[in-house]
Structures are given as C-alpha cells and as structure tokens.
Structure 1
Amino acid sequence: MSVRVRFAPSPTGHIHVGNVRTALFNYLFARNQGGKFILRIEDTDLERSSLESEKLIYEDLQWLGLDWDEGPIIGGNYGPYKQTERYKIYKKYIQKLLDEGKAYKCFCSKDELEEMKEKALKEGRPPRYNGKCRNLTLQEIESFEKEGKKASIRFKVEDLEVRISDIIKGEISFKTDAFGDFIIVRPDGMPVYNFVVVIDDALMEITHVIRGDDHLSNTPKQVLIYNALGFKVPKFAHIPMILGPDHSKLSKRHGDTSVNQFREKGYLPEALFNYLALLSWSHPEEKEILSKDELIEAFSLDRVSKSAAVFDFEKLKWMNGIYIRNKSKEELTKLCVPYLISEGLVTDRYVNENFDKLADMIESIRDNLELLSDVAQYIEVYFKLNTILDEKAKELLVKDTSIPVLRTFLSEIEKVDELNEKIYKTIVKSVQKSTGAKGKNLFMVIRIGVSGLTKGPELDKLVVNLGKDEVVKRVREILRLIGNHDF
C-alpha cells in the first residue's frame, strides 16, 4: 500500500508552530515517498471550534506551501474530512464494540468516579476506573436508563500490556493497569478523541501516524481499539516537542508562536518552511539552506532526533534574511509594499506611479533586512530628513571643514541637470579636492547633509535615489540648522 499520512488540527485558531512542524514532517514524508498528504479537521470540541478558525488553518497551510491531496475544499475518496460530519460512522463502530462485549455502558456519576480516584491514590494505586459497571445485567442497565441516568461507554481492557514499535522512539511497552477501562463515549453521546481518531485513521487507510510525542500516552489505548475492531495498526512515529530558548515548552511567553504571527512580522514562507524542517531533523550533508524540493528529496524519518528541539528565534531571523536577499528586486518590492503602506510612508498611488524608484530604494537597503517589516525603519530616510541630530553628527558638523564640504557639495549638485552614480562620484572628488576633507570628514558629513543621520544606505545610492531637487533641499536645511545653531 502506498504511503498515506494525515495532519488533523482542531479549528480553534491559527496553527501553532509546533503543530505546523508536525504537518510539515507529514508533508515531507508523503512527498518523499510518493504518497498522499491528507488534511482532516478534528472539530468535535464544539465550544472552541469555529468555521472562522477552520479558514485560518487553510490560509496558514496554503501560505506555508503545505498543499494537501485530500481533505476539506478539495475533497477525496475517503471523506467526509471533518469529524462533525462523521457521527454516523462513529456510531456504527461504537455499537459494534457493545454488541461484541468489547465495550460497556457505565452509569457512575462524577462524584462516584472522584471517590474511586481519591481512594486509589490514598492506597498508592493508579487512579483508574475500578470496573464497577463492567458486568451490569440487561435488567440493571434498563433500570438505570428508566431512571434517566446518562451512561458513558467504556472500552473493556483485557490485555495486560501493549507493545508498539515506534519509528523514532523504538520499542515501547505500556502496562494497561495504568489506565484500565477507559471512556470512548461521554454521557452526552460525544465520542472521545482516542476513539474517533482510530476510526478516522483506519477508514482513511492512514499508513503512518506521524505526530508529536505528547500523544505517545494515547497510543496504547488506540492500539487496543484498532485490534478490537480488526483494523490494521498503522506505523507510529512520535516526533519530539519544540522547546523555547529557556528549554521549557514553547509557548506565547517566548514570543511569536503561531504561523500567522510570523507571517505578519515579515517572515517569508520559504524561510519558515526551511527552518521548521530542521527542528529535530538534519540533512545528511548538514546543509541548512534548503529549498522545498531539496527537503523533500532528503527527508527521512530515520534522521529525526529523539531529543526535543530548541526554537532559535535569532537563527530563524538570520535564515529569513538570506531568503530576502535572494529575492528578485521586483518581488522584494511587492512584498515590502504592504509594510510601507501600513506605516504611512507610501500610498497605493505613489507605488503605482513610482514603482521603479521605490524598487531602487528598497534595493539599497536590502542587506539590512532580516524581516520584511524592517523595511519601514530603513527606508524612512528617503521620505524624511532627520533634523534631530545625534551627538556623533554634531561633533562632525562643528569641524572646520564641514560647512565648506556641504556648501561645495551643494554648489556642485546645483550645477548638474540630473544625478547618477558616476556624476555623484565626480562631484565628491571635486569636493575633496576643494576642501581637503577626506574619510568621515568628507563622506560622513555629506551623509549627514542629505539624511541627518550617520548611518544608512550606501551613500551614492542614497543621493541618486533621492534625486537632485531633494538633495539640494536637504543640504540647505542642514546648513540652515548649522548656521542657526539649531542642533
């Protein structure tokens, strides 16, 4: 049978990076093996699930490039792909277990169950169900139902031990006396996760269940259900969790944790895809910058570590910067535009009328960008002259050569019809010859004259992109500040 894997999120909001890393490993494994990647929505938690959150999941996965072969939106031969649409299917298999004596109705109240738990703990035993309703007669069941008592349904655990061979964790043995007869349907009639996930995976012919190791404790219960219903047990691969920089479980207190947050900050999907793939997995040649195709070709579960991965925000940012620098000039500009508009630096009309000029500006600051959202900070110099000079700028401007440098530079700029890099360099040489200034007393002073800052884009590109009229206007303003001692 060809490989079939699934990602089954609950629609309760944007996807956490831990969950999307699980989706990504499933995706890479399926693509590497020429199999199918299935999306299934586990929406039985009616209080927390919503259609809006469901749409967010689709958006997050599509943005990241995790296209599914079967599931919501596109359909498939094994649907429905939402659990709330599969109740009739679940009911059929619940009845099968009851009819075969592999499950039973339990009428114990919450208070009774709590009392059992407390007693077991006091006696040093696992707090598991004591089997009180395991052997109820039909008459007793009918009597309880006539009284209006709601029953949960428990799976009857007969095996003393469950053994699994996990692709990542290896051979694992579970003693069933740790949990005993467990609930598969709540008193309100809602089947629980450990039951429905088995039915869904079995009927959708899932061959490999690749999921976080926080699900490892659920596995023995699920294996028991597989066996009781005569289903083939899939291969399991439990991947380690993702930790924050402090080595505790990654959570909101560490910063961005959802795909949407990374997207809004200006991370590129290719960079996040690449980075997440390297959390607890490594390339055979230890490469780090890898395209989707390269990751698909190299991915294998036997290179997944047993150890938890630490989410390094700085490394992700570094990797994102590499992907930004590899974008074409036009594509990078289009990606940056929304951030410039949101900061009020440009309008749609400005972009339409000055796209090439804007692209040149962004190109001059490309190497400074680690996030797309950084663009507003670095490009602001093109839209606004800084007139609140820092101490370093003031120290330079009071030197004897500074005013002559700026006045000569202004005079030379005013003589030309237009600016380009060649003309700019000729002007600078003329200023140097006339004033004798060099080094920072020349270049840094010119930079302050055209921007009011001591740092920024390459000076020749800054001057050319600003254009003659804007440069003249700015240098005059800085000279006015110096003359009036307004700094």
Structure 2
Amino acid sequence: MSTVRVRIAPSPTGYPHIGTVFQALVNYIFAKKHQGKFAVRIEDTDQTRFVADAETAIFSALKWFGLEPDESPIHGGEFGPYRQSERLPLYQKYADELLVSSHAYRCFCSRQRLDEVRKQMQADGKPPMYDRHCRKLDPSESEKLAKTQSSVIRLKVPDNQTIICHDEIRGDIAFDSSVVDDQVIMKSDGFPTYHLAVVVDDHLMEISHMVRGEEWISSSPKHILLYDYFGWDKPKFIHTPVLRNPDKSKLSKRHGHASVAWYRENGYLKEAVLNFLITRVWNHPEGKEIFGIEEMIAHFDFKDMHIQGPIVDLAKLDWINGTWIRNLAEADLIKRLKPFKSPKLSDDMLLEFLPHIKDRLHKLTDITDLTDYLIDDPAVPVELILKEAKTDANSVKAYLQQVIEVIKAGQTFDAGSLENNLRALQEKVGWKPRPAFMPIRLCVTGRQHTPPLFDVMVMLGSSIVIKRLSHALTKL
C-alpha cells in the first residue's frame, strides 16, 4: 500500500459530536496501522454557522481521547494551512479553471427565483433541483454580467451519464447524472461550498483514503466529476455507517449523548468510550469485547466493518465502562474519581472503602451515590424502616435502642465483633435476619443497598453509628 494519509474535517459550528470522535478513531487507527498520517482540517467555510470556541473544543476532545493528529492548524504540517478560511485563493483558482474548461458556469438567479423553481418541481413530484437557467448563457456574456451582478459558480453535471463511485466497503455505487444537481461550488461571498473545497483540499493534501460518514454517499457523484474534470487521481472512498439511537433515528445534537462533553461529565472513561464506539461497527477477531486502542490498531480493517446502522446502546456502554473501571489499578481509579467525589471524602477514606464499592461502579459519577452517606447524615426513611422490620414503630424503637446498647457495650468496634454481637441480639429478640439488619442499614446509610453492613459501620465509626441510630429513634 502507498503512503496512507487520512483526515477528518469537522466544522466549527457547535460543540463536538460523538460522531466526530468515531470518525477520528477509525481514521487514527487506520493511519497508525499503516504507519501513515492522520490530519485534522477545519472546514469553516460556512461563516453563518461559525461558533467561536468550537475549534478549541474539537481539539480538546481529540486530546482527551488520545486521538491527537499528526497535522492540523494546531500541530502544523507541510500541507497547510489547515483551515479552509485560510485557503480561499486556492478555491478561487480551481473554480476559475472549471469555468475556463466549461465544466462550471456562473449563476445569477435570485434566491426568490430559486425558491419558486424548487417549489414548482416539488409540486410536479420531481426532486428539487436547479433548472439550469443560467447554464444557457454564453460564457463571455456571463463574465460581463459578473462585473456588475452577484453570482455563484455551479458545477456543470453532464446529461445521461452513469457516474460510478467505488466504495472500499460497499463496492460500486452507480448514480444517474440526470438526478445529480448542478451544485453551487463557489458562493457569492468568495467562499467555496463543501463540494469544491473537499476535493481540492484532499487532492492538495495528498489524502489517500477519503473516510467519511455514509450521509455523504449521495454527494459522491459530484466529487467524482470534480476529480475527473481536474484530471486528478481519486482517493479511495470509504463511507462509514452513521451512529444511531435504539429507534434507528440518527444521533443528532438534540440528544444529550450526542455531545462529547456528555460522556466526560457523566463519568465515562475515554478508553471505554473508544472501545464502545469501535464495537458498534466491528468485532474483534478473537471475540473480545474489552480491548484498548493498541489492539484496534493491530486488528482493525475497514473490510470487516459492519455497514448496518450502529446503535448507541447506553446500557452496553455502562457495562463496558464498568468493566474498564474494575480493571483499573487502584491508584489510577482514585485519580480519575477525584473530580467526581465530594471534597469531604478524603483519599484515605476512599482508598479504604474502594474495595467494597468497585464492583458497583458503572460510571465515575456513581461514586457520589455510593459514598454520600459516609460524609453526610442521611434522611431517615421511616416508612421503609417499618416496612422492612414488619412490625410497629414502638417495637422497632425498642429494638434499635438495644442495638445502641450492644454497640456501646462492645469491647472492640470491628466488623467481626459487630456481626457476632448483633446476630446474638437478633436471635435473642427472635427476629429473622432481614427484619433485624435492614432497619439498621437504613438508619445508618439511608439506603437498602450498600457494601457489607458491618464494614460500613466500622468505616463510619461507633460515634457516628450511634448518633444516626439515636436520631432515627426521634423520627420513628
């Protein structure tokens, strides 16, 4: 294989989409597998949708995921500039070449006329396309008009041709040129549209594989024509499937989990998210479900990619994330938990408690719910206590008072002694284990599910346990 050069080309029109990370991932691992280069080009030609901090957010996301490019506006490179807004003279040059070769033409139609044409086509049951009104103009007449009137430049699509795009995953895809629009390639403000810019940039940057989402398949005949009109070799086309919700709808920015920030804020590990994303479209050859980027680089191949719409199944992500959490070394896990834990929870207390809760962590954010009762006194769930005890309030109060006396009388406050002493009390009062111990758990932690009760009591210390049991007595 010749030198592999791939790129992603996000637009700074909002905060990073998880689909951008997915595209970055498959491009990155493909480049690394073949000792190639991975570039990031910023497609900022749509100035009406430009968001000031979006580019910074894109590079921040890539850095967090460990998918830093070899070339970009930030990292430099020999094929810059890497922002399209800094390449405008190039696009004008190549647009002018297409005009000279009669593969493009100027269009002077007003927005009002274009709207009327499209509405009429829709009313006639035809796909809304430009009616080629200005295509009939003599080129010399067009150039005269261009000196006094605003115009765009349109691609001249040939009549009655079959345009073939060969996709490395999907094979040959045929398009009838009669349903391909004479696309605007240069706007009146001097900025190119995506279609001209992507072809010019990919050619000049020597991109070997154009890897992009399947939503661009319908645009590929326009790009094929441009490569042919310029007489340039085409890159290999690879159209990857688009991430979808469980209902098969496209994962759009209105869904919270479409945003890269959502994954960070909700306590997902970067390794787990990458693991999850690649397994949406590809199976590890050894059947593994948990693996890191080095194994992706070693084994991934586009020819093995599933092209059916990959589902963003958050329950599966939680499972993958929980598995990654359990595989982390203790010191590494504590470091990652710090931004999510209460500042009142000391590192020493977290280290002591971690073995009891590690298996319950599915996300780093779970640490708050799993440890808040270690720090703050919980509310007393009176109704639940009575329900679990299966008796009246006075009987529960009498029993809890005996629990307090047993704790005070104990010579040591360790899990083994607590268990022995409180089980003896349980047998003495003749209660079954759950009605005897669940009320204690609820009074001390405020919840039904915790690590082993006696371990939790020891961590809290006898004074706090007695204080919480005494407080519960006042509420019953």
TM-score by length of 1: 0.88
| Cα pair 1:406 1:449 within 8 Å, conserved | no
Give the distance between the partners of 2:268 and 2:120, measured in 1 at CA.
Answer: 53
Give the distance between the partners of 2:101 and 2:144, measured in 1 at CA.
Answer: 22
Measured against aligned partners, the alpha-carbon deviations of 1:88-134 in whole angstroms (never above 9, x if no partner) come to 22122222222333322222333444454456556666544444433
| Cα pair 1:401 1:441 within 8 Å, conserved | no
| Cα pair 1:392 1:454 within 8 Å, conserved | no
Q: In the alignment, is residue 444 of structure 1 matched against residue 475 of structure 2?
A: no
| Cα pair 1:362 1:375 within 8 Å, conserved | no
Per-residue deviation, 1:215: 0.3
Give the distance between the partners of 1:303 and 1:255, measured in 2 at CA.
Answer: 30
Per-residue deviation, 1:297: 1.4
Instruction: Identify if the C-alpha distance between structure 1 residues 462 and 397 changes in structure 2 by more than 3 Å, giving closer, same or farther.
Output: farther
Per-residue deviation, 1:24: 1.6
Provide structure 1 residue ranges, at least 5 long, that are not aligned to the other structure: 341-345
Give the distance between the partners of 1:384 and 1:115, measured in 2 at CA.
Answer: 66
Give the distance between the partners of 1:207 and 1:150, measured in 2 at CA.
Answer: 37
What residue number does 1:381 align with?
373
| Range 95-104 or range 23-32, more displaced | 95-104
Give the distance between the partners of 1:252 and 1:115, measured in 2 at CA.
Answer: 31
What residue number does 1:468 align with?
462
| Cα pair 2:17 2:253 within 8 Å, conserved | no
| Range 208-217 or range 137-146, more displaced | 137-146
Give the distance between the partners of 2:112 and 2:375, measured in 1 at CA.
Answer: 69
| Cα pair 1:362 1:379 within 8 Å, conserved | no
Measured against aligned partners, the alpha-carbon deviations of 1:435-476 in whole angstroms (never above 9, x if no partner) come to 565622443344245334433222132112112322232233
1:457 aligned to which of 446, 451, 456: 451
| Cα pair 2:386 2:396 within 8 Å, conserved | no
2:408 aligned to which of 403, 414, 417: 414
Measured against aligned partners, the alpha-carbon deviations of 1:295-342 in whole angstroms (never above 9, x if no partner) come to 2212110111121112211111222122222223333333333333xx
SS in structure 1 of the partner of residue 274 of structure 2: helix
Per-residue deviation, 1:171: 1.0
What residue number does 2:152 align with?
152
Per-residue deviation, 1:427: 4.0
| Cα pair 1:209 1:234 within 8 Å, conserved | yes
Give the distance between the partners of 2:71 and 2:291, measured in 1 at CA.
Answer: 26
Per-residue deviation, 1:50: 2.8
SS in structure 1 of the partner of residue 79 of structure 2: coil
Instruction: Identify if the C-alpha distance between structure 1 residues 2 and 466 changes in structure 2 by more than 3 Å, giving closer, same or farther.
Output: same
Per-residue deviation, 1:288: 1.4
Per-residue deviation, 1:140: 1.9
What residue number does 1:189 align with?
190
How many residue pairs get matched?
472
Give the distance between the partners of 1:111 and 1:92, measured in 2 at CA.
Answer: 29
1:14-413 paired onto structure 2 within 5 Å: 14-117=15-118, 127-134=128-135, 136-137=137-138, 139-146=140-147, 148-158=148-158, 160-251=161-252, 255-340=256-341, 346-347=342-343, 350=344, 354-395=346-387, 396=389, 398=391, 406-407=400-401, 409-413=403-407
Per-residue deviation, 1:403: 6.0
| Cα pair 1:117 1:127 within 8 Å, conserved | yes
Look up the equivalent residue of 1:298 and give its one-letter code. H
TM-score by length of 2: 0.90
Per-residue deviation, 1:418: 6.3
Look up the equivalent residue of 2:347 and give its one-letter code. F
Measured against aligned partners, the alpha-carbon deviations of 1:393-433 in whole angstroms (never above 9, x if no partner) come to 21418479866764554345435676444444454455457
Measured against aligned partners, the alpha-carbon deviations of 1:52-101 in whole angstroms (never above 9, x if no partner) come to 11111111122222121111211111111111111122122222222333
What residue number does 1:343 align with?
none
Give the distance between the partners of 2:471 and 2:181, measured in 1 at CA.
Answer: 81
Give the distance between the partners of 1:386 and 1:121, measured in 2 at CA.
Answer: 63
SS in structure 1 of the partner of residue 6 of structure 2: strand
Instruction: Identify if the C-alpha distance between structure 1 residues 125 and 453 changes in structure 2 by more than 3 Å, giving closer, same or farther.
Output: closer
Give the distance between the partners of 2:376 and 2:36, measured in 1 at CA.
Answer: 54
Look up the equivalent residue of 1:475 and give its one-letter code. L
Per-residue deviation, 1:239: 1.3
Give the distance between the partners of 1:49 and 1:473, measured in 2 at CA.
Answer: 58
Percent of paired sites with the same residue: 38
Per-residue deviation, 1:358: 2.7
| Range 389-398 or range 415-424, more displaced | 415-424
Computed over aligned residues only, the root mean square deviation of the Cα atoms, in angstroms, reads 2.7
Provide structure 2 residue ranges, at least 5 long, that are not aligned to the other structure: none
Instruction: Identify if the C-alpha distance between structure 1 residues 70 and 166 changes in structure 2 by more than 3 Å, giving closer, same or farther.
Output: same
Give the distance between the partners of 1:454 and 1:90, measured in 2 at CA.
Answer: 65
| Range 395-404 or range 202-211, more displaced | 395-404
